[in-house]
Homo-oligomer: A and B are copies of this chain.
Amino acid sequence: MRLDFSDERVLAVVAHPDDADYLCAGTLARAKADGAEIGICVLCQGDRGQPAVPIENLADVRRGEMAAAAELLQAALLRGQFSDGCLVDDPEARKTLVELYRRFRPTLVLAHWPGDYHSDHRAASALAEAASWYCTSTGHESRAAVMRDQPALWWMDTINMTGFEPGFYVDVTQYVDLKRRMLACHKSQLERGEDGDFSPLEQQMVRQCDARGAQATVAAAEAFRAHLVWKRIRAW
C-alpha cells in the first residue's frame, strides 16, 4: 500500500526552525519524490534557543540554518517571524498565516499535535488549524488571492511519542539520512547538548523513526493523525 502525494501541495507548519526536520521531513521528501510541491512554514525565529554561551543575532543565525536545511530538502521556506515563547493564536497571527497559506496554497497542511510538549507548538497547532479555514474566506483580506478549497490537515507526532495515538504511518525508510543531515544544519543548537533544556535531538529523532517504523513493519516511519473536522478531511 502506498499513499501517492503526486498532485499535492504539502506545507508543514511548525513552531521552531528544526521541528519539521524532526517530525515530518521524511514525509515531505516522499511527497517531493512523488512530484508534489512542498514547503516548510516556520512561525518563530528561534531567537530564544540560546546555548550556554549566548549567540549574538541568534535569529539571523537560525535563519541561515533553516534555509540550509530546507535547501537539502528542496522545500520552499516560509517564515512567520514571531518571537519564541510568545506565539499565540490571535487575529494578527492568523492574518500572517492566512497570507502565507494563500501564497503557498497548500492542499495538505502538516501541523503540531494540539497536545505537544511546548506552548509554542500548541499555539502553532491552533494557528495552523484556524488559518486552514480562514484561507478560503473572502471576508479575511490579504494581498494574495483567497483560496478556493481548505487544505486537508494532518497532526504530526509529538516529540518522544508521548500522548500521541497514530492514525496512520508514512514509510520514510529512504529519508532517515536526509533527516539527520537536515538536523545537522542547526549548528547553534548542537552546542546545547549539555544544557538543561536540551537533548541530543538527532539520537532521539532516529530512535523515534525506528520505533514508529517497528510499529508499522518498516525500517523507519513518521506517524500522523487526520484532523477530523469539516472540510479538513480528505478521502484517499
- Cβ of A64 under 8 Å from chain B: no
**A117 surroundings in chain B (CB, below 8 A):** 133, 229-232
Pairwise interchain contact B233-A217, C-beta atoms closer than 8 A: yes
Q: How many residues of A are in contact with the other chain, CB < 8 A? A: 86
Q: Is the interface of A mostly helix, strand, loop or mixed?
A: loop
Given contacts A133-B118, A133-B197, are A215 and B1 in contact (CB under 8 A)?
Answer: no
| CA distance in complex: A3, B170 (Å) | 12
Pairwise interchain contact A230-B160, C-beta atoms closer than 8 A: yes
Most buried by B among A168, A204, A207: A168
Pairwise interchain contact A129-B119, C-beta atoms closer than 8 A: yes
Given contacts A1-B8, A139-B49, A165-B228, are A235 and B214 in contact (CB under 8 A)?
Answer: no
**A136 surroundings in chain B (CB, below 8 A):** 195-197
**A214 surroundings in chain B (CB, below 8 A):** 160, 199, 204, 207
Listed A/B pairs (12) with beta-carbon separation below 8 Å = A3-B4, A3-B236, A85-B94, A137-B197, A158-B230, A163-B165, A163-B228, A168-B236, A169-B235, A197-B231, A215-B233, A216-B235
Given contacts A1-B4, A217-B231, 10 further A-B contacts (CB under 8 A): A48-B140, A149-B217, A161-B215, A162-B228, A165-B228, A167-B225, A167-B226, A169-B235, A207-B211, A211-B211
Q: List residues 181-208 of chain A with CB under 8 A from any CB of chain B.
A: 195-197, 199, 204, 207-208
A65 to chain B, nearest CB (A): 16
**A234 surroundings in chain B (CB, below 8 A):** 1, 169, 216-218
Residues of A near any B CB (own CB < 8 A):
1-5, 7-8, 47-52, 54, 84-86, 88-91, 94, 108, 115-119, 126, 129-130, 133-134, 136-140, 146-150, 152, 158-163, 165-172, 195-197, 199, 204, 207-208, 210-218, 221, 225-226, 228-236
